[in-house]
């Protein structure tokens, strides 16, 4: 699996390269700035990109903006954002995209290499991976007129875990309820968000997009 890595700190860059290669990934290009990230993503078109949010020259949101622009030029390009911060405006735009796999993890909350490698593989396969702290930040400020406001606290908890890419079984274990209860909450979520009948996987994605867009 071909990876482009965008990280400006040498130790992080070197460590991530070694970790990825140890797990069978081919790190085909490593960049340390925003313009270089955009060029690499568009020209190399990797199977997945791992991108830091804050890159030179401004050290603000270059990496995230480069990822958004690259996905505009290459729809569906899988991108896993790795950062110390939640940049809400651009994070919402990235995660609300319906084209391809995306993820957003916080560096200080990646606790082991298996978790990190699994996240990369899931994004490369077209899935969504979100740190729970990112989810909580994106949930902030939901207005009373938005569809998401119709959900109960338990339904919001189920949807939050759904947005992290968890299965019904994993959600049940996390919330200490039965899988049947998760199924009932999920059906209620679909109804309250006005999601018409289709296959459940499609409605789960659409529910998550509604949630992120709110």
User: For residues 6 and 51, is the Cβ–Cβ distance under 8 A?
Assistant: yes
The neighbouring-strand residues paired with 82 are 52, 105
Mean model confidence pLDDT for the chain: 86
Q: pLDDT by residue (tens digit) across 117-144?
A: 999 998 999 888 888 777 667 655 555 5
Task: Return the DSSP state at 97.
Answer: -
Helices (H), 51-152: 62-73, 88-95, 113-124, 132-139
User: For residues 99 and 76, is the Cβ–Cβ distance under 8 A?
Assistant: yes
User: For residues 48 and 73, is the Cβ–Cβ distance under 8 A?
Assistant: no
Percent of all residues in the chain with a pLDDT value above 90, rounded to a whole number:
47
pLDDT band at 161; cut points 50, 70, 90: confident
What is the reported pLDDT for 88?
A: 74
Q: pLDDT by residue (tens digit) across 165-212?
A: 778 898 999 899 999 999 999 999 888 888 777 656 667 767 776 766
> What dotted CATH number matches 2-131?
3.40.50.2300
How many CA atoms, within 13 angstroms, populate the side-chain half-sphere of residue 40? 27
**Among all chains, which residue has been given the structure tokens 């070694």?**
18
Instruction: Show me where the domains of the chain are located.
Output: 2-131, 141-213
Report the alpha-carbon distance of residue 117 to residue 14 in Å, rounded: 16
Which two tokens mark 49? 């990109």
Among candidate residues 180, 155, 150, 154, the one with its CA nearest the CA of residue 168: 180
Strand order in the sheet with 100-106: 26-31, 2-6, 48-52, 76-83, 100-106, 128-130
pTM for the whole thing?
A: 0.72
Which two tokens mark 52? 């830091």
Domains 2-131 and 141-213 equal at CATH topology level? no
The neighbouring-strand residues paired with 30 are 5
What is the reported pLDDT for 160?
A: 80
Task: Return the DSSP state at 135.
Answer: H
What would be the CATH architecture of the domain defined by 141-213?
Orthogonal Bundle (1.10)
What is the reported pLDDT for 198?
A: 63
């Amino acid at each position: 699996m071909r990876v482009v890595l965008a990280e400006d700190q040498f130790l992080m860059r070197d460590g991530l390269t070694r970790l990825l290669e140890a797990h069978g990934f081919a790190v085909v290009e490593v960049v340390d700035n925003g313009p270089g990230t955009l060029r690499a993503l568009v020209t190399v078109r990797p199977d997945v990109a791992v991108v830091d949010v804050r890159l030179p020259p401004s050290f603000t949101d270059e990496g995230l903006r480069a990822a958004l622009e690259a996905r505009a030029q290459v729809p569906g390009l899988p991108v896993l954002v790795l950062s110390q911060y939640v940049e809400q405006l651009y994070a919402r735009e990235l995660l609300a995209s319906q084209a391809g796999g995306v993820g957003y993890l916080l560096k200080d909350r990646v606790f082991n290499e298996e978790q990190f490698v699994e996240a990369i593989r899931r994004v490369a396969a077209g899935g969504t991976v979100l740190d729970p702290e990112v989810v909580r930040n994106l949930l902030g400020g939901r207005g009373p007129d938005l569809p998401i406001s119709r959900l109960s606290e338990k339904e919001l908890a189920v949807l939050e875990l759904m947005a992290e890419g968890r299965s019904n079984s994993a959600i049940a274990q996390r919330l200490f309820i039965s899988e049947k209860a998760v199924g009932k909450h999920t059906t209620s979520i679909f109804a309250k968000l006005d999601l018409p009948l289709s296959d459940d996987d499609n409605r789960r994605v659409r529910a998550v997009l509604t949630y992120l867009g709110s």
